[in-house]
Structure 1
């Protein structure tokens, strides 16, 4: 007989905990959690991948998108300024990534 999987019990525990926290009002809104997740993913890209020509664009842009989702959800800023600022940020990050100061992905790492 194959060993029992832990997937169902862990899913039930996590789903029940999220449901409890959501129903008691302790868990923040879903948009806030998504915004925080996207921002954390951007920081993780920079930490795991290091600073290179790809991560210098994707990491800060993910952090900005997370912040923009939160700002829009909180009704602090409209869509139009967020998109305009995002385009400007993307342009600046693309210019920075073209610099010779920023290394290519994988440079400086020993191969083998």
Structure 2
């Protein structure tokens, strides 16, 4: 006899816990959770990848998008100024990534050892 999968019980437990926390107002608003998640993802990109030409754009932009979602939901600031500020930030980060001060991403493949 085949063992039943754990997927359905785990999904039910997680969904029930999230529903319970949401209905009792223990869990913060979805926008706040998304903002925190994006901010953490941006920091993780910078920590794991290090500072290189790709991460110097991706990390800060993820953090900015998280901050923009939070500001939009909590302070009801319009989309237009947030998008304009994001465009300026992205342009500045793109200029920074073109600088020789920011290294290229190192490849994970090791060159063969010399004999």
2:58 is aligned to 58
Number of residue pairs the alignment of both structures matches? 111
Q: TM-score, normalised by structure 1?
A: 0.90
Equivalent position SS for 1:28 = coil
In structure 1, the residue matched to 2:110 is 111
Cα deviation for residue 26 of structure 1 reads 0.5
1:48-93 deviation digits (Å, cap 9, x = unpaired): 1111100000100000000001100113422221111111100110
Q: 34-43 or 57-66, which moves further after superposition?
A: 34-43
Bigger-Rg structure (1/2):
2
Q: More deviation in 85-94 or 33-42?
A: 33-42
Tell me the distance in 1 between the aligned counterparts of 2:7 and 2:95: 45
Q: What does residue range 29-44 of structure 1 map to in structure 2 within 5 Å? A: 29-44=29-44
TM-score by length of 2: 0.87
Q: CA deviation at 1:3?
A: 2.9
For the aligned residues, what is the CA RMSD?
Answer: 1.6
In structure 1, stretches of 5+ residues that fail to align are none
- Separation in structure 2 between the aligned mates of residue 53 and residue 3 of structure 1, nearest angstrom: 48
CA distance in 2, matches of 1:22, 1:10: 18
Unaligned runs of 5+ in 2: none
